[in-house]
Amino acid sequence: MKKYSCVLMDADRTLFDFDRAQEESLKVTLRDLLTAHEQQFTPELLREYRAISNTLWGLYERGGITQPKLQRERFRILLEKLGIPGGDDLADSCNRRFVEQLGEEACLIDGAVTLCRTLAGRGGALYIVTNGIERSQLRRLEKSELRPYIRKMYISEAIGVPKPHREFFDFVFSEIGEERRASSIVLGDSLTTDIAGGNNAGIDTCWYNPSGMENPGVPCTWEIARLTDFLDLDGIRQES
């Protein structure tokens, strides 16, 4: 039976409660601006921002936009839809505030601490692999309870290529040891970045799917609904 000694974990929506962090950070970022223009933060505004952001991140993953441009464009488009003038300068200002606040939001998915503590206690090598923004991701990790268990965080902004590209994972293994590839597994919530990335890198994958979404046909080795279910997988489970 194959044994996994190295786990490459996604950050957002796998270990970190990104949706909650995103909402709180956006509220802080836009609070004074919305008040000045006699507007309010609404569920519709949040949905609009998320639609814009998700579209741009998808474009980034396919190599269609740089991360600096993505960060500006998400706010430029949102402000334009809200009818708030300011252009690129205001968009850049909003983005800086948003990224700063996001780094302070270290809320975790249920089971994340138990998962990492248990795996590390069994001698597993734990790494985070993420497409997020470097300064906010590093800050969130430092603030979180996960920090003692994570050996290193690998971030696409620093590497220069995003998941799901094989080159992202090749860089990771060039640092942690190519010999680890055969005993590694990717754990993540995204079929298009985490699972496809693991497939591109030639390593096993575990899809974290808490909402029970249908898989359109992306091959994955395992699928779990709760993070702690990962501990019971063959190759992860501690034999008595």
As annotated, the active-site residues are 10
Cα 153 to Cα 16: distance, rounded to the nearest angstrom: 13
Which residue from 158, 149, 162, 151 is spatially nearest to 197, judged by alpha carbons? 162
Burial readout 123-137 (b: 16 or more C-beta within 10 A, e: otherwise): ebbbbbbbbbbbebb
Beta-sheet pairing, 125-130 with 184-188 = unpaired
User: How are the residues of the chain apportioned to helix, strand and coil, as percentages rounded to the nearest 5?
Assistant: 55, 10, 35
Q: Is the dihedral of CA 120, 12, 43, 214 positive or negative?
A: negative
Task: Give the DSSP H/E element, type plus range, for residue 168.
Answer: helix 166-176
What Rg, from alpha-carbon coordinates, does the chain have? Answer: 19
Tokens representing 104?
A: 């302070």
Q: How far is CA 206 from CA 26, 173, 178, 198, 201, in A?
A: 31, 18, 20, 9, 14
Number of neighbouring beta carbons within 10 Å of residue 9: 27
Cα 111 to Cα 3: distance, rounded to the nearest angstrom: 22
